[in-house]
Amino acid sequence: MTPAAGTPERRGFRMPAEWEPHEATWIGWPHNRSDWPGKFAAIPWVYGEIVRKIAAGEIVRILVESKAHEAKALRLLSRVGADLSRVAFFRFPTDRGWTRDFGPIFVRRERPKREVAVAGFGFNAWARYPNWRKDASVPARAAKALGVPFLPVRFHGKRVVLEGGAIEVNGRGTLIATEECLLDPVTQVRNPGMTREGMEEVFRAFLGVTNVIWLGKGIAGDDTHGHVDDLCRFTGPRTVVLCRERDPKDENHRVLEENRERLASARLEDGSRPEVVPLPLPAPLRFDGIRVPASYANFYVCNAAVLVPTFNDPNDRIALGILSELFRDRPVVGIHAVDLVWGFGTLHCLTQQQPAVARVRGKGYSGPSS
């Protein structure tokens, strides 16, 4: 199918890989105590460490509720030693803090001039929660504040709902997603009636994707119903890490083995096979008897580092070692996430990258080569 004349693909836009140079990272400062019941007091300090690490290499654009909320965040960031010259606040009220999912999904083009735009997907709180309208307004507000184009995503006249955590791209044309999240016709349905072919056409038209790898289900404890960023991530144009659970009695074991089998027969955009590197999971983590989606795959690649959630688990060391071998152009840094994951997400779920417009050279910006 030939893309419509006005689509981002026809206009030369694509979604860059996460390791490509950033202008900024967007993150929403925590305010909704119901996201971390009983643990909220610790959460702003974790955010402070995240911002401190990211601000070492790029601007951090922080969503806040009010002037008072901004002042509170600023005081904490000053105490933890974050580079405040690289922190900018935007008073955009939100329902929650999971900026990966409701925040602006940026695309970029090289010609006729190098520029970014926001692909304007809809958001409905994972088709699970009733309060989402503040979150859903953020992409358009961000585009307006930055002075960049906002490109509403529609398919057959209907707004398309998509969270950033539901997709993973290599920047060369391949996207990975799960059928459970985007194609389930019964549970947490984002786009009723949407077919596989329809979803792929949306990816092609608005993200510049030419090849989609469909995995099956996501990991246990994930309230998004199958986000890919908890189980499978690109670490280079041709390399992915896939979570592996060796215990056959664990509920993740069979799900992840089925995904491994799918990747074994998958092809990248050029017809080659991806290299698949197993990434362990920590031991099952529960709070108040509820399993949470603790996963090292929820790492975030910023200009200055790769930030990896850690869980006071023996596999922390192994996961950090694997990712250090795969990301040799920047340090791999662990961030304690035992409290954070009680909100059913960690580092990648909280952040959203804004690609750089200007070409950036130097240490930490080249990206993986394979």
CA separation for the pair 199, 190 (Å, rounded): 11
Question: 């991530």: which residue's tokens?
Answer: 233
Query: DSSP states of 277-291 as a string?
Result: EEEE-PSPEEETTEE
Task: Give the rounded distance of the alpha carbon of 103 from its chain centre.
Answer: 10
**SS3 at position 267:** coil
Catalytic residue among 181, 232, 302, 349: 349
Identify whether 302 is a catalytic site residue: no
Rounded alpha-carbon distances, angstroms, from residue 334 to 17, 124, 236, 299, 316:
21, 31, 20, 9, 8
The bridge status of strand 59-63 relative to strand 22-28 is: parallel
Q: Is the dihedral of CA 344, 339, 58, 140 positive or negative?
A: positive
Strand segments (E) across the chain: 22-28, 59-63, 87-90, 105-109, 115-120, 150-152, 154-155, 158-159, 168-169, 174-178, 211-215, 232-236, 239-244, 275-280, 285-287, 290-292, 300-301, 306-310, 332-336, 351-355
Contacts of 5 (CB under 8 A, 6+ apart): none
- Residue 4: DSSP 8-state: P
Phi, psi of 94 (to 5 degrees): -130, 165
Q: Residue 249, class by beta-carbon neighbours within 10 Å (0-12 exposed, 13-18 middle, 19+ buried)?
A: exposed
345 backbone dihedrals φ, ψ, rounded to 5°:
-170, 165
Closest by CA position to 70, among listed 52, 85, 91, 86: 91
Between the two ends of the chain, the Cα-to-Cα distance in Å is: 31
Report residue 243: phi and psi, to 5°.
-60, 145
Known catalytic residues are 349
